[in-house]
Each structure stands twice: as structure tokens, then as C-alpha cells.
Amino acid sequence: MDKKLKINTKGIFIEADLDSMYVILGEPIQKNQDSKELNIMVSEESKRHTIMSYTTELETLKLIFQNMTLRSSSLTNTNLNDTMEKSRVDVSQFAGSRFIACFCHNDQEKVPFWNLYGKKIKKNKVLLQFENFAVDLDKYLWTDYVFVNDGKKCFFQSNDYWEYLKKSLSQTEETAIDDEYDIRTCIDTLQVFDVKYVPVDSPTFSEANSGPMTINFDKVSGNKNELIQIKGFNPTVLGKEKSNAWDYEEETRIMCNLHNQMFSEWNYIDLRLKPEFFRNLKIILSPWDEGELSSIISDIIERSSLPQDIKESITISDSGLKGTLNFED
């Protein structure tokens, strides 16, 4: 026998097939928070660090300064070195709606990072050590929009997004608005947290993340205590835990979640950085530097749009491991 949910709201009668309905859980929002505004979640643990380290290479550094952006990759991006990032039982289909930017919260140079990250031209690798942005996210990141694959903008969830969406859906040829924004979805949650490392045989990688849920529909059905049981998915487990084989990374993440959790068309988003993100930045040159990097980076900094006082706060130094590493190309 088919299970039906009958809803009568504001004179509109809706009948839904419960067998085909499901619920996708999102991150919890704070008490009294407007559900139409961006949900910002910063862990207390992540606020305690002093430095956020980011190992990359010269061309990426140039783009960061030139565009004032930082790339955040989808959990389905094939460039991620841990293939388990997108794999959790029952919810892997939602991994494309999560985007991560990864940092190490240890201020020491790490040999595996110099070897693994940045491109293959070893002499062009750099270690960027930023002040901890988690202590005051609004000071360091713009949260109005990001850039996506095709150069368009994607809103962070806000009243501006919902108004823009409303106007776009009701536009005619005469009232058409520009299409600089991709409004198919928005970012509804912005998180900063330390990755948790668990044993490789942990239930994290094997336990189900879906199951029956009981929901009270009385406010929409008109029937008191209308308790309905439907299938639920919990994709909030994605992106937060890795096996302890990766614990040397001591990782802190910025993670952005899309409002439409089924959306998976973007490989990355580019977060927009405020000038304060660069204040007191320490740039450590590659252990394989041949003496050219410092002047190239100094020129990149000088050509950037950063205020002069922030430019002058940035320091460049040699690696403490210079001349000591012997890895084959």
C-alpha cells in the first residue's frame, strides 16, 4: 500500500508519495539565526592556533596576490591526494557540494609537504604562513560571493541572494538582469575546523549515513502531531575526518557547503581574500631555491593591490632545510 502525505496549506492541496521522499540533513544553525543568512561555524579548537601554513608554488602564489583569491577544491576534485575524501557510505553523491581549502596549523617546515605539494619544479615551491584567520573570519574573508569555474559569481546565502533569485525568476525580456551570477545554488554554510584523524578501520569509513527519520509535519499538514517516517541522508560527515595515516598534516580546513547538496558541477570555487589576510605573512622559500625566488616574489608583492603597510609587513626568508633534501625529480 502506497504511503501518502497530504498537505493543505494556504488553500493549496498537495499529495506526496512518501516512498519517493527523502531528507538531506544540513549543518545545524545557531539559535535565533535567520535561516536565509549564511551559517558561519568556526571551531574553538581552530581559533587556538597561531599560524596557518600553505605549501604551494610560484605560479599559484602569483595568482593569489594578483586576484586576491584562494582556491577551494570540491571533494570530488581528482587533484585531491586522498581518494577517501569523497567516499562515505550512502552520501558520496553529495561530495560535489563541499569545497575545501587546506592548511597546516603547525609553524614548522615539514619535509613531506615540500615533497608532495606544489608542482614538480622544486625550486619554485614556497611555504606561506598566514596569521590565523579563524580568530576573526570577517576580518580576513569576503562573504558576499565567490568565483566559480566559468568565472561567474556564486552568492553566499543572504537576503541579497534570495532577492536576486526572485528577480531573476520573474524577469521578462524588458526587465532582464545581468547574468554575472550563477544562481542555481549558493553557499549556505562556511566552516573552519581542525580535521579529526581516526584509525583506518574506524566506523567513519564503513557505517551507514542514511536511515529512517521521523519528522513532525503538523505545521504544514494541518493535522496535529502528524509524524511521518521517511528516509534521511547525513552528508554532514563529509570532509571532516581522515585516516590517521594523514595525521602528520595537522590540518585545519575552510569548508564551504552549497545550499543545493545535489549540485556537483564545479571543481572548485575561489574564495575572495581581504587585504588583512596578507598582513604579517611569512614566505619561506623552497629548500631547492637557486637564489632567484626572493626577487621574483618581491616584485609580485609590489605589483599587487595590497595597501603599502601590508606589503611592508610581509617577510621572505630561506628555508631552514635549504641544501639538505635529496629527492629525485
Q: Output the tens digit of pLDDT for each of the chain's 329 residues.
A: 456 655 554 455 555 566 777 889 999 988 788 888 999 999 999 999 999 999 999 999 999 999 999 999 999 998 888 989 999 999 999 999 999 999 999 999 999 999 999 877 999 999 999 999 999 999 999 999 999 988 899 999 999 999 999 888 887 655 556 688 999 999 999 999 999 999 999 999 999 999 988 877 665 555 666 677 888 999 999 999 999 999 999 999 999 999 999 999 999 999 999 999 999 999 999 999 999 999 999 999 999 999 999 999 999 999 999 999 987 66
In a domain, 328, yes or no: no
How are beta strands 196-198 and 241-243 bridged, if at all?
Answer: parallel
The single-letter DSSP state of residue 197 is E
In a domain, 322, yes or no: no
Which grid coordinates belong to 59?
605560479
In a domain, 29, yes or no: yes
In a domain, 326, yes or no: no
In a domain, 327, yes or no: no
Residue 303 structural domain:
4-317
How are beta strands 51-57 and 251-258 bridged, if at all?
Answer: unpaired
Which residues make beta-bridge pairs with 82?
A: none
- Domain total for the chain? 1
State how far the alpha carbon of 25 is from the alpha carbons of 161, 172, 236, 243, 291, in Å. 22, 35, 7, 24, 52
- Do 194 and 45 meet the contact criterion of CB atoms below 8 Å apart? yes
| pTM value surpassing 0.85 | yes
In a domain, 329, yes or no: no
In a domain, 190, yes or no: yes
